[in-house]
């Protein structure tokens, strides 16, 4: 189950964190992986036998280039993981309009452009696989439930959740074999989480903050990047052939309460 031999995947924001773990999991399953990021991902790519392309997800020209790079380098495109994203915690009153717009630009417009540019490329290759091609969008538990200080982030991740379902319906109705699903992580131990812990920690220290983040999950621990990468690998594979428009929650039980 989960074999991806012969498939080509593009993972955005894959220089570190969940994206890097996902790129490795897809490569371990046999896929050829393009790592894209605004930051340098060449070492991450070299470690898994993949290829790196510089890519800012807010730029339409960069999207066209990244998809063309995947086709040119590995011969097509079968899987897109819309992973690149940003996060910060701010009370509503302290959030500037510019802050709010920047969050939507990266987390929402980035995913929109990814869907727009990758769906036609994936559809071209999809008929050779039982489960067709696959797009996995990174939403969050913050796209399912509200919490203090995450208004801009939750707005963006709620949008990703429904954009996923719209794209899934459009592909299915058009008879394209492209499945589109979202993944909703809890709090995952990545550089993004560590940066948030630093900001929130204040006098109590970042380790105390990590512990408090961990305790928000009924399972009593932070998520690991591999917990999310494994769910993405499953959705990318033929094992998920009848799944589209679904939301896969990987949160140690957080939103089950």
Q: Which residues bind ligand NAD (CB under 6 A)?
A: 12-13, 15-19, 37-39, 55-58, 83-87, 106, 138, 140, 185, 187-188, 190-193
Assigned token pair, 211: 């512990």
Kindly state the tokens that stand for 215. 């305790």
For 10, phi then psi, to 5°, come to -115, 120
Cβ of residue 244: shortest distance to ligand NAD, in angstroms? 20
Is the Cβ of residue 15 or residue 167 nearer to ligand NAD in the bound state?
Answer: 15
Find the distance separating the first CA and the last CA of the chain, reported in whole Å.
31
CB of 105 to ligand NAD, least distance (A): 8
Sign of CA dihedral 42, 30, 10, 112: negative
Strand partners, 9: 33, 79
- Which C-beta is closer to ligand NAD: that of 56 or that of 208? 56
Active-site choice (153, 180, 185, 223)? 153
**Residue whose pair of structure tokens reads 């399953």 in the numeric block:** 29
Using CA atoms, how far residue 162 sits from 6, 82, 143, 236, 247, in Å, is 30, 14, 9, 19, 10
Q: Are the beta carbons of 143 and 158 closer than 8 angstroms?
A: yes
CB burial of 77-109 (b: ≥16 within 10 Å; e: otherwise) equals bbbbbbbbbebbbbeeeebeeeebeebbebbbb
DSSP assignment of 148-204: TT-HHHHHHHHHHHHHHHHHHHHHHHTT--EEEEEEEE-SB-SHHHHHHHHHHHGGG
State the minimum distance, in angstroms, from the CB of residue 14 to ligand NAD: 7
Identify which of residues 18 and 77 has a Cβ nearer to ligand NAD in the complex.
18
For residue 52, indicate whether it is catalytic: no
Q: Which is nearer to ligand NAD, 133 or 185 (by Cβ)?
A: 185
Q: How far is the CB of 183 from ligand NAD (least distance, A)?
A: 8
CB of 107 to ligand NAD, least distance (A): 7
Residue 164 CB, shortest distance to ligand NAD, in Å, is 13
Nearer to ligand NAD by Cβ, of 8 and 188: the residue is 188
Conformational region of residue 220, where left means phi above 0, alpha means psi within -120 to 50, and beta covers everything else = left
CA–CA gap between residue 248 and residue 231 (Å, rounded): 8
Q: Which of the residues are catalytic?
A: 153
């Amino acid at each position: 189950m989960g074999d991806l031999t012969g498939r080509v995947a593009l993972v955005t924001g894959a220089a570190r964190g969940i994206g890097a773990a996902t790129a490795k999991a897809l490569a371990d399953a046999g896929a050829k992986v393009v790592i894209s990021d605004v930051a340098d991902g060449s070492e991450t790519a070299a470690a898994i036998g993949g290829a790196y392309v510089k890519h800012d997800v807010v730029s339409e020209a960069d999207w066209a280039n990244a998809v063309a790079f995947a086709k040119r380098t590995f011969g097509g495109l079968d899987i897109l993981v819309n992973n690149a994203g940003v996060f910060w915690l701010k009370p509503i009153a302290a959030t500037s309009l510019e802050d709010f717009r920047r969050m939507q630009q990266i987390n929402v417009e980035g995913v929109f452009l990814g869907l727009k540019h990758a769906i036609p490329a994936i559809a071209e290759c999809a008929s050779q696989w039982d489960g067709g091609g696959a797009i996995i969008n990174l939403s969050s538990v913050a796209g399912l439930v509200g919490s203090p200080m995450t208004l801009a982030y939750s707005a963006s991740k709620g949008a990703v959740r429904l954009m996923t379902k719209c794209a899934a319906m459009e592909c299915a109705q058009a008879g394209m074999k492209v499945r589109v699903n979202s993944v909703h992580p809890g709090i995952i131990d990545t550089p993004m989480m560590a940066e948030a812990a630093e900001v929130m920690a204040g006098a109590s220290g970042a380790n105390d903050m990590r512990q408090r983040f961990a305790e928000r999950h009924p399972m009593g621990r932070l998520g690991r990047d591999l917990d999310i990468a494994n769910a993405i690998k499953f959705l990318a594979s033929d094992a998920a052939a009848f799944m589209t428009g679904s939301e896969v929650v990987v949160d140690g039980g957080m939103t089950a309460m």
